[in-house]
């Protein structure tokens, strides 16, 4: 799209904050575009939630993909799994597709960072893309986000029962308890994530998603018991009564600076 007028774009991650922002901004900005940068490695619950959000907004959420996908980029990066230090996944699969969609147009990009978060996030630095933070401007905090989604009849995406943020099923930002949640709720995806882990036969170096421990190790029965008892957030009771985001809410904020702001708030 090429236009002389400033475009207004709200990036959705399928997570609670950007979704609440979409609800909050509905009707406030004429011509608002909604986009979702799809890595192709998202959870089914994310797509389900986006469909609900589309119905609520009465507007299509444009899916942006990098045509080559995660596995292509993994080969380019010589099999090095992305990590918080080498986050090529966000750059290639989220930021670049977003920047391609924007082109050279002047754009206001609406970002769902809340007033109670102390971070800038990982966002595009192209000069034609100006970020706006309406929640920060208006003092909208965590509890407000939950209320906004509740009042819209959307609630939280289902994965919040066992995971504290949106994103790829194998995201390295997951805590051990969240990997245990993936194993329980999506054992097939856990197996898929396992296939990406490797030990270099020459150097013995381990390429694992979680720090210092392979998914094979995490899935050992005694380790599962240990992680569950330490987390305190994934027991049956908690799952039944409240979302993990409530249990781990503050931790979510602690390392939130690391998350894909363009797509995971």
Chain contacts with ligand SF4 (rule: CB under 6 A): 39, 82, 87, 89-90, 93-94, 167-168, 171, 173, 260, 264
Q: Which of 218, 263 has the CB closer to ligand SF4?
A: 263
> Residue 44 Cβ, how far from ligand SF4 at the closest point, in Å?
15
Closer residue to ligand SF4 (CB): 93 or 156? 93
Q: Is 12 exposed, middle or buried (0-12, 13-18, 19+ CB in 10 A)?
A: buried
Closer of 112 and 167 to ligand SF4 (Cβ): 167
Give exposure, 46-56, as e/b (b: 16+ Cβ within 10 Å): beebbeebbeb
Q: What 8-state DSSP symbol labels residue 95?
A: I
| Closest separation in Å from C-beta 127 to ligand SF4 | 24
Which phi and psi angles does 7 have, rounded to 5°?
Answer: -95, 150
Least distance between ligand SF4 and beta carbon 29 (Å): 26
Q: How far is the CB of 207 from ligand SF4 (least distance, A)?
A: 14
Of the two residues 152 and 259, which places its CB atom closer to ligand SF4 in the complex? 259
Count of CB atoms situated within 10 Å of the CB of 256: 21
Q: Measured at CB, which residue is nearest to ligand SF4?
A: 167
Give the start-end residues of each E strand in 72-170.
107-110, 129-132
């Amino acid at each position: 799209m090429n236009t002389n007028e400033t475009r207004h774009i709200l990036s959705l991650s399928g997570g609670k904050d950007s979704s609440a922002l979409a609800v909050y901004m509905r009707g406030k900005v004429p011509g608002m575009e909604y986009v979702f940068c799809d890595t192709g490695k998202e959870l089914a619950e994310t797509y389900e939630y986006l469909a609900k959000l589309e119905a609520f907004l009465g507007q299509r959420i444009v899916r942006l993909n990098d045509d080559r996908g995660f596995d292509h980029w993994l080969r380019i990066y010589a099999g090095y799994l992305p990590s918080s230090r080498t986050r090529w996944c966000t750059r290639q699969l989220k930021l670049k597709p977003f920047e391609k969609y924007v082109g050279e147009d002047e754009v206001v990009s609406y970002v769902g960072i809340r007033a109670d978060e102390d971070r800038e996030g990982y966002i595009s630095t192209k000069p034609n893309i100006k970020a706006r933070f309406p929640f920060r401007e208006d003092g909208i905090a965590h509890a407000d986000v939950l209320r906004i989604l509740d009042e819209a009849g959307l609630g939280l995406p289902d994965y919040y029962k066992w995971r504290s943020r949106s994103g790829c099923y194998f995201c390295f930002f997951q805590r051990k308890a969240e990997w245990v949640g993936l194993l329980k709720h999506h054992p097939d995806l856990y197996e898929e994530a396992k296939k990406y882990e490797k030990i270099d036969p020459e150097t013995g170096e381990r390429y694992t998603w979680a720090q210092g421990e392979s998914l094979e190790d995490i899935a050992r029965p005694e380790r599962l018991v240990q992680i569950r008892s330490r987390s305190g957030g994934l027991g049956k009771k908690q799952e039944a009564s409240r979302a993990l985001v409530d249990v781990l809410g503050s931790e979510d904020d602690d390392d939130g600076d690391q998350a894909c702001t363009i797509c995971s708030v």
